[in-house]
Structure 1
């Protein structure tokens, strides 16, 4: 269904400064927009927290035609426990590999022209050492599943993704809404999927009038709905409607109305400065050090 498109993956970050260095200076992504919130999100965008948090969107290009990363930072949380649910994001950029080597960021050579780099928090990024393609360099996101057949049915039959490739030996299925978008790879790990406290969320958009239809389908099929259709406000920006689902392994899946999201997600020329300002004004590390305390571990 080409009317649906892949948008972003949500990463919870404990160290916003080191994370910004990884995405900006190592991967070479741009800060697309930065937003600060005084209280938790109605759709738990920042996890099960109700305090002050921020959202930073980073990518190789505008959200309207690139798959990007959403970095959520909860001011009082210093680290999250990584599970086995997120298996990696693959992107093609020889510049990213060059940047990592120049900055001394640890790289592990996996194969010819393929390197593994870890973002702060342990999130895995696979870097293909080839020239960036003219479109989106982000190729795929890989998620762990415990029953490949069951998961493939969910993502293809219920969500409408097209199966593009199966690898029986590796126990993987590659799928997507179109050939030109970032793909989703499901990898059967043969054990229970553990989301830790760092659990992420993958987001897609669809025409707004399809959201209620999607919610109704999930109810009919007795599938998990984590957040029924709800409107989300962002100060000074468009209000969007979202519904949050979960597959059989508990992977969180956000669908947002495309029309309003395109308005909300316009690139902000001040985004980089806003992030730098927020990091400079964030004295939480100093406060905890002064009081001989540590930030909480989620």
Structure 2
């Protein structure tokens, strides 16, 4: 990093716009791995991609999604030995799954004993058909009716206290594009969709601001999203600059994880939501080893 002090900040910030990034996975904790795997595969149509047990650290992971990790966004479930429930908090919103027939999917989920929290039907004041279901741990999944898509696992929704600041943070620190912003005054909230490609083709971050609410509880259930980068060191420089302007902080300096050698860096946004940036090549090597 020697000599980087001399680089004007606008040149550092350019890296986030040029870097090759995509959403890799969302990490969260569950109370019974097999129960969640059963629900996600049988009710939501996901595939179990891999599972690993780390007895020395007393936890297990399962990775599930709608396609291989090399090309798709997946969920990484964590089970900590002996812990059967978690507090989701008030800040985490939902994950979303795009499907061509919400009514049929809801029927299937109900037949298997799933918890439907909003019946399928058009959104208020719109035409998109949606429904909401809860998984066995209480995580909410929005089901959205859409045509065929390469990425059915299409949203991670988080609540934030200052939407404009958050948009600016994700644009500058992570090179995301603001895909759309929608204010809903009758229901007193505003949403912003951010990502790396069109929201009908890929996973996006949906940030929600509820009028007058500036703080939320995080709980201990949802952990983070992971995003790929071609250079964790350059990416950390960008994040470091942006946190000085907008808040948030780096929680793990860039470098390899001991024992795995995958290079990562992690940080919190102004609301305390965590993102981990993972080296692209290292991530693919890690997947090859697990074949």
Alignment TM class, shorter chain as reference: 0.7 to 0.9
Count of residues in correspondence between the two structures = 252
After superposition, where does 1:255-294 map in structure 2 within 5 Å? 255-266=277-288
Is the contact between residue 141 and residue 183 of structure 1 (CA under 8 Å) also seen in structure 2? yes
1:62–1:266 Cα contact (<8 Å) kept: no
Alignment of 1:234-245 (within 5 A): 239-245=261-267
**TM-score of the pair, normalised by structure 1:** 0.78
Give the RMSD, CA atoms, in angstroms. Answer: 2.1
Cα deviation for residue 27 of structure 1 reads 0.6
Is 1:29 aligned to 2:46, yes or no?
yes
Aligned partner (choices 207, 211, 217) of residue 238 of structure 2? 217
Once residues 121 and 267 of structure 2 are traced to their aligned partners in structure 1, the CA distance between those partners, rounded to angstroms, is 35
Out of 65, 73, 80, the position equivalent to 2:71 is 65
User: Partners in 2 of 1:233 and 1:125 — Cα distance?
Assistant: 34
Instruction: Give the counterpart of 2:251 among 200, 206, 226.
Output: 226
Q: Structure 1 residue 157: deviation in Å?
A: 1.8
- d(CA) in 1 for partners of 2:257 and 2:36? 26
2:86 to 77, 80, 84: 80
Show the counterpart of 1:101.
110
**Superposed displacement of residue 4, structure 1:** 0.7
* The one of 127, 133, 136 aligned to 2:143: 127
Q: Which position in structure 1 is the counterpart of 2:270?
A: 248
Q: 1:216 to 1:91 in 2, by over 3 A?
A: same
Residue 203 in 1 paired to residue 222 in 2?
no
Other-structure match for 1:144:
159
Conserved 8 A contact 2:106-2:120: no
User: For 1:151 and 1:38, how far apart are their aligned partners in 2?
Assistant: 38
**More divergent stretch after superposition (174-183 vs 26-35):** 174-183
* Separation in structure 2 between the aligned mates of residue 130 and residue 254 of structure 1, nearest angstrom: 29
1:31 and 1:56 in contact (8 A); partners too: yes
User: Quick one: structure 1 residues 267 and 186, their matched pair in 2 at CA, closer, same or farther if it must change by over 3 Å?
Assistant: farther
Compute the displacement of 1:155 (Å).
0.4
Aligned partners of 1:30, 1:211: CA distance in 2, in Å?
Answer: 30
TM-superposed deviation, 1:111:
2.9
User: For structure 2, which runs of at least 5 residues remain unmatched after alignment?
Assistant: 1-16, 123-128
Shift of 1:77: 1.1
Q: From 4, 7, 10, give the equivalent of 2:27.
A: 10
Q: Is the 8 A contact 2:178 2:192 kept in 1?
A: yes
Q: CA deviation at 1:87?
A: 0.6
Moved over 4 A (4+): 266-269
Using the size of structure 2 for normalisation, the TM-score is 0.80
Cα distance in 1, alignment partners of residues 97 and 152 from structure 2: 5
Q: Deviations over 1:195-225 (max 9, x none)?
A: 1111320110011xx2111212233343401
Whole-Å Cα distance in 1 between the matches of residues 22 and 177 of structure 2?
A: 12
Residue in structure 1 matched with residue 190 of structure 2 by the alignment: 171
Distance in 1 separating the partners of 2:43 and 2:133: 9
Deviations 1:127-161 (A, max 9, x none): 12456x24111221111101101111100122110
Cα pair distance change 1:256/1:129, threshold 3 Å: same
Residues 153-187 of structure 1, C-alpha deviations (whole Å, 9 max, x = no match): 10012211000101122411111012232011110
Q: Using the alignment, how far apart are the partners of 1:61 and 1:267 within structure 2?
A: 18
